[in-house]
Structure 1
Amino acid sequence: MGHHQDVKRRRVLGLVLTVVAVMFAGEPAADAGTGPGFDARTDLAYAPAQPAGSRGHLLDLYLPRSGGRSRPLLVAMGGSGWHGDDGKAYAAQLAPFFTGAGYVVAGVSTRSSSQAVFPAQLHDVKAAIRWLRAHATTYGIDPGRIAVLGDSSGGWTAAMAGVTGHVAALEGDVGVTGPPSDVQAVVDLYGPTDFLRMDAHMRPGACDTFNRSFGLTDCHSDPRSPESALLGRPIRTVPDRVEQANPITYVTGRAPAFLIAHGELDGLVPTRQSEMLFDALAAAGVPATYYLVPGAGHDKRIVSPANRPAIVRRTAGAGPAGTRPTLTTIEEFLRRTLGPAPAPA
């Protein structure tokens, strides 16, 4: 009975986290199959399903119709506390804007923590990037201009992909092998970093709310927390694995440019998680910009034009900061980092 109760609790937690993500998703995009100026290719398998029938090895592509044979690529992944295997759905919200700006957009799903534990999720996104490079000519992608973007656990995935592009031991053997998995830019929206320091930095009362909402007793350190599920063990018992799952561990001067944004009122992932990543990037001399957004919580609308001006920190060479993180701000960061997309024909 205990095992079945735990499985049920994990499913409930995953459902709640997914509902949270949907609540804060903002306005829905145009139909995922088509849109003004773009076409979509959905449910493309970048590796065989594992387990059979699951969705964690699928991606969707959104292709601008007008002009250009070698476009920059934006890979997008939505968060679910690692409990979902359909992170590719987030890209449908971003596709109208970014395809209009000349980017190919890929929504990438990775396996859930109930299907496979870390580092499987990192192996998955790297496999998707390799697949996209292997098919770059088919889809008009410039294989030398790839950015990753994600929110919450998707932000963690994006950050991990960004800082481990040259770490052979973390490449994995999922799907296509051969092409590199490095990326040239990262957009991390309120992703976690150091799991063992999350509880100490939670806002006052946030752990109590977190526990009540998700049926836990010990916040992020709970043996049933999203972070413990990701690692397959209670995080306090495996500090070495926590370190391996921390993007800060891999930050060097070879890391790509980062744009980081975090809502000041985030009650799920403390803002200090993003601050520590920014500090590590700054110390390594990596171009990085960090937006702390007053009035925003754990919310995809953090990049909405309705947000208030942000508190901004930049490293040398990071370029103009703007006043708040919007989709336009992100596109300007990508253009500055990757170079401009081809003009429409």
Structure 2
Amino acid sequence: MSLVAQLAGTARGVTARSLLRLPRPVLRRLAGSPVVIDGRTLDPEMQLILRVQRIEGPAIETLPIRKGRAKAVADAKVVGGNLPIGAVTDRTIDGPGGPLTLRFYTPRGLTGDAPALVFFHGGAWIYGDLDSHDAVCRFLAEEAQVRVVAVDYRLAPEAPFPAAFDDVWAAWRWVTEHAKGIGIDPARIAVGGDSAGGCMAALVAQHATDDEGIKPAFQLLIYPVTDFLETSASRKTYAEGFYLTTAFMDLGEESYLLGDEDRADPRLSPLRHDVTGVAPAYLVTAGFDLLRDEGKAYADKLKAAGVPVEYVCEDGLIHTFANMVGVGTTAPRAMRRAANALQRGLS
């Protein structure tokens, strides 16, 4: 049995954190032979995390959805840790389908009307919740010195399309309409999210251009889904083996969509719609991620429309690196760049 396999049999959180604290040369040896695709080299921290994941059990998408959801939260806690923050409070508002919970993060030392990020979690529209992305929100709040409002939107298959979008749009409208009463500067509110949440953040920014309410001042888009219509090259190259798989995405789409939707619907595919006048953006993708190419395509579309956009591909990283703020050095460094961009965008 390899050392990695032996370590994987111990407490999961201790395993991940202990392995990624090892000296870089040791970590490289444990990770295995370098993985190089299209001139990019997989970061050894990511490679080691993938090795441990394969040893520890079945992939999330192979489990019944309820068990997969529990595993997604547990996995996120392992790599996210419990980062210190000033305050975390939950509040329930009236949503389109019933009560909708928002979680408010206030960084240490922040007072008065402050900039804010309304954040939508990822999870292919079937996984994820306030707890799965708690560490991400804590990190962004503290690093960018902004209030973060996370949205617990409805999930499929219990609530198929367009429930998730309806919820995030309702949450955006509520936060912007009540900004002054909840310590938020209405002129400095960003919208953001990762993966499926990044898709919905982009859609909210698009819809806001035609709405009479407050428009986002900035977008933070982390490896967003942007296209339900075409299969990009990266969707084929990284179809399996790098955490997010084609099977994972297919399960999400089949659960969220009932089959008769127009995949170019303005509540689904941001890449297919007019982006004139949307907020400036920081868009980051991972080099070893099947969503990489469509993320870059959306950044290119923003740029072509004259929207200020900073595009970064974190070449050696995998999907879900945003959740890995509690382990290693490479994922936290990438997320610190994102947080710095958010802070600049709202300054």
Aligned to 1:319: none
**What CA deviation, in whole Å up to 9, does each residue of 1:238-270 have, x standing for no partner?**
44555651112334331111111111111xx33
CA distance in structure 2 between the aligned counterparts of 1:17 and 1:296, rounded to whole angstroms = 23
Aligned position for 2:27: none
In the alignment, which residue of structure 1 is the partner of 2:302? 281
Secondary structure of 2:80's counterpart equals coil
- 5 Å-filtered alignment, 1:65-84, equals 66=109, 68-84=111-127
Structure 1 residues 201 and 47 mapped into 2: Cα distance closer, same or farther (>3 Å)? same
Q: Distance in 2 between matches of 1:188 and 1:256?
A: 11
2:80 maps to which of 5, 27, 34: 27
CA shift in 2, pair 1:276/1:254, >3 Å: same
Asked if 1:247 is matched to 2:300, the reply is no
TM-superposition CA deviations, 1:259-295 (whole Å, max 9, x none): 11111111xx331110110111011011111111222
Counterpart in the other structure of 2:92: 45
User: Structure 1 residues 128 and 238, CA, compared in 2 at 3 Å: closer, same or farther?
Assistant: closer
Structure 2 letter corresponding to 1:231:
L
Name the amino acid aligned to 1:281. L
Aligned partner of 2:287 in structure 1 is 264
The CA distance in 2 between the partners of 1:210 and 1:196, in whole Å, is 22
Whether the aligned pair in 1 keeps the contact of 2:133 and 2:323 (CA below 8 Å) is no
**Letter of the 1:338 counterpart:** L
1:112 maps to which residue?
155
Describe the shift of the 1:207–1:326 C-alpha distance in structure 2 as closer, same or farther (beyond 3 A): closer
Q: Distance in 1 between matches of 2:336 and 2:285?
A: 17
Q: 1:197 is paired with a residue of what secondary structure?
A: coil
- Give the number of aligned pairs: 284
Higher relative contact order (CA 8 A, sep 6+): 2
The one-letter amino acid of 2:306's match is G
Task: Tell me the equivalent position of 1:317.
Answer: none
1:71, CA displacement in angstroms? 0.2
Structure 2 Cα separation of the partners of residues 71 and 112 of structure 1: 30
Query: Structure 1 CA distance, aligned partners of 2:217 and 2:204?
Result: 10
How has the CA–CA distance of structure 1 residues 243 and 298 changed in structure 2, closer, same or farther, with 3 Å as cutoff? same
TM-score (norm 1): 0.70
Equivalents in 2 of 1:295, 1:156: separation in Å? 22
Paired residue for 2:237? 204
Distance 1:138 1:302 in 2: 30
Which residue matches 2:178?
Answer: 135
Q: Contact 1:59/1:88 (CA < 8 Å) preserved in 2?
A: no
How far does the alpha carbon of each residue in 1:107-129 deviate from its partner, in whole angstroms, 9 at most, with x for none? 11111122333332222112112
Check 1:242–1:126 CA distance in 2 against 1; reply closer, same or farther (3 A cut): closer
One-letter code aligned to 2:88: A
Partner of 2:12: none
Letter in 2 for 1:198: T
Alpha-carbon distance in structure 2 between the residues aligned to 1:86 and 1:193: 21
Distance 2:171 2:329 in 1: 33
Q: Distance in 1 between matches of 2:131 and 2:213?
A: 21
1:132 maps to a residue whose letter is V
Unaligned runs of 5+ in 2: 1-60
Please tell me whether the aligned partners of residues 73 and 142 of structure 1 are also in contact (alpha carbons under 8 angstroms).
yes
- TM-score, normalised via structure 2 length: 0.69
Runs in 1 of length 4+ with deviation above 4 angstroms? 207-211, 237-244, 301-305
Aligned-residue CA RMSD (Å): 3.5
Against the structure 1 CA distance between its residues 192 and 22, is the aligned structure 2 distance closer, same or farther, given a 3 Å change threshold? farther
Q: Distance in 2 between matches of 1:99 and 1:205?
A: 33
